[in-house]
Each structure stands twice: as structure tokens, then as C-alpha cells.
Amino acid sequence: MPDTSRKLIQLCSALFFIILILSCNKPYLSSQATTPILQVFNWNNYIAAETIQRFEIFCNCHVEQDYYSDNEEMLAKLAAGATGYDLIIPTGNAVDTLIRQHVLIPLNKALLPNLKNILPVYLNTPFDPTNEYSVPYAYTLTLLGFNKNKIEELHLPTDTWAIIFEPEYLKKIKGRVTVLDSPRELMAAALLYLGYSANDQNEVHWNQAKELIIRAKPYWAAFSNTSYIREIAIGDLWVVHGYSNDLYQAAMDAKKTGRAFEIDYTIPTEGAVMSLDSMVLHKNGKNPDLAHQFINFMLDGINSAELTNMIGSGNPNLEAKQFIRPELMHNQAIFPDENTLSRLQMITDLNRKQRRILSRIWTEIKLR
């Protein structure tokens, strides 16, 4: 008996290792010899599968993607030694960090003729003033999402941050509100509501924002970064502080499942945060030429529009507009007019002292 079981274990472990070895080597062995590989480090679900397929045919190469769900996660993985990525698509403040870390390579603009398609408003941003390293990819807005039917029924305003900060409104929707579990985003909303800049670094103003948040907190259900998408789509939540892509997704879900209510989202008049994601080249990448081709390919109107049509992201590409579905083009919360655009701000990185102070304020907010 022990003899047979020992043999069985030996057989199993032998099988396990054979499978392990086979599965490790297969894709690399077969593709490396023939076609070049472009390694992309991207957000989850942030490029259409058809776009990738077309690019692979166009350049006779293979695109491999790894995913992250948070800029900090991406930075942490790079800091921990993840290498080999040709192209990364971080948000503005993370681009800033990567530039100051000296890990990006300057772009060769001669290889990017389609750069002319990008609207000038989205170029020369504070984090990369001459676009030496980065090319805009898509943007997301942080705004207010709400259950339209409920909010009309309760006669609440939807064009102001007051709805998530003022007890006078909040008492009608107590326990049906969530805000983002992100110190920077929530503080930005509070600072904007108080009439300051989203990037205000004055500690006195931070403390005012803290007081505002602590006063409103008892009415909120939770701090939530992802679960609010499902909860608002099924009707558990009525007002959320969230991202435009996610709220687009929630609105579509509610529509598809035939809910009795509609989900809408607006940019508050006080202003909001815009997160512009850009394509950058990492210096550890093996195929910078291929990466340039990819950037130029993605700057093409059709390819750029495909992403917007898929996830409802904002699009900085002028040529893409003709390929985007009209209902998306007319959505003010995805393509804001000039006037609204001037009230959008991008978040900049904080230094280590400020980060620690903000973290302390955040702990206090969570504790009270």
C-alpha cells in the first residue's frame, strides 16, 4: 500500500513539473524567434481587442499586455523590479513621478506624424510641459453619478458638490451615498467645493476640507472605489462620487438589465478632477521603434475612437470624434464644452512631507 501511494505521488509530481515547464516555455519559444513582441503595461480593460488585432497584423508583431488597476500599484511594481515593458499608460501625476525618476525615454516626434490629431488643450500639460515623454491617450473625469429618478423625486441639485457635502441635502439620501476611497480625489472635491484649487497645498485649507468631510461623513454609506459601480446599477446607491468611465458602465448596465430607473452623471459647477492618461516609453523596453509605431497607430482617429466607444472614456483626439457614437459625443460629462473644460484640473504629485500630512488627515477622517 505505501509503495503504490509513493509511486502515485512521484507520478503526480512528475506530471506537475512537465506541465509547468511546458506552460512556461511555449508562448515564448514559438513567438520570440519569428515576430517581435511589444510589452504593454496597461490599465485593466483599457484597449479594444480589435485594435490590438489590427495592430498585430499591421506591424507583423505580437502585443503582450500586463495590467494594473491603480497608478500606485504600477509604480510599486516598477519599483519592485518589474522590467521589460516598452510602453506604459499612466495618469498625469504618475507620468510626473516616472519623469523625475529618469526611467522614461524621450519620444522621437518624427516617428509620430499623427500627433497633430491631438487637441492642443491636452498637450503641454503641467506634468510634461513640452510633451517630451508623453502622448495623451484618453481621460477620465471624477464627477457625480446619481439615480436620476430618485434625485428628481427628492428635488435635489445635481450640479454641485454640495449634494455630497451639505447635511441639508444629505439627510434625504442618508446611507445611499458613497465617495471615492482616495485621499487625493476626495480632498480635491472638498477643496473645489470650498472654492480652492484641487491642488491647493495650504494646510489651513486642507483642515477646512477635513472638517467639511467629517461633518458629511455620517451620511455616507462607505468609501468605495469599485463596488459602487454595481451598487448604483442595481439601485442600492443613489448618489456616488466616481469616475466617468465607471459611471458610463453602470448606466449601460442599468439600461441593459431593464431597471426602472436611469443613471446619469454630471460635472459640478465648482469644477472637477480630470485624469489624463498618457502613453510613455520605459527605458527598459526592448522595442522602442515598435512602441513608437504603436503610439502613432493609437493616435489614428479610428483606433482611438474604438476605446471611447467601448468604455466611454474621454478622447483627446480630434480625428477620432467622427468615429465616436453620437450619443457619447453629445454627453457633456464625457466631452465637456470649453467653459466646463476650463474648470477641470489635473492632480499633481505631492512631496513626501505633504504625503505624510495628508495621510494623517485621512486617518483622522476615517477614525472620526
By the criterion CB under 8 A, which residues form the site for another protein?
70, 72-73, 75-76, 79, 97, 100-101, 175, 183, 217-218, 220-223, 227, 231, 234-236, 351-352, 355-356, 358-360, 362-364, 366-368
To the nearest whole angstrom, how small is the minimum distance from the Cβ of residue 230 to another protein?
A: 9
C-beta of 99 vs 252, nearer to another protein: 99
Question: For residue 226, what are the CA distances in angstroms to 49, 264, 348, 352?
Answer: 23, 17, 23, 27
- Cβ atoms within 10 A of the Cβ of 270, count? 18
- Cβ atoms within 10 A of the Cβ of 349, count? 16
To the nearest whole angstrom, how small is the minimum distance from the Cβ of residue 180 to another protein?
A: 12
To the nearest whole angstrom, how small is the minimum distance from the Cβ of residue 184 to another protein?
A: 9
53: helix, coil or strand? helix
The H-or-E segment that residue 276 falls in is strand 272-281
C-beta of 97 vs 266, nearer to another protein: 97
C-beta of 76 vs 302, nearer to another protein: 76
To the nearest whole angstrom, how small is the minimum distance from the Cβ of residue 55 to another protein?
A: 31
Contact 31, 39 (CB under 8 A): no
Contact 204, 197 (CB under 8 A): no
To the nearest whole angstrom, how small is the minimum distance from the Cβ of residue 182 to another protein?
A: 8
In angstroms, the CA 16 to CA 49 distance is 32
Contacts of 45 (CB under 8 A, 6+ apart): 311
C-beta of 69 vs 322, nearer to another protein: 69
76-105 burial, b at 16+ Cβ within 10 Å, e below that, comes to: eebeeeeeebbbbbbbbbbbbbbbeeebbb
To the nearest whole angstrom, how small is the minimum distance from the Cβ of residue 116 to another protein?
A: 33
Contact 95, 71 (CB under 8 A): no
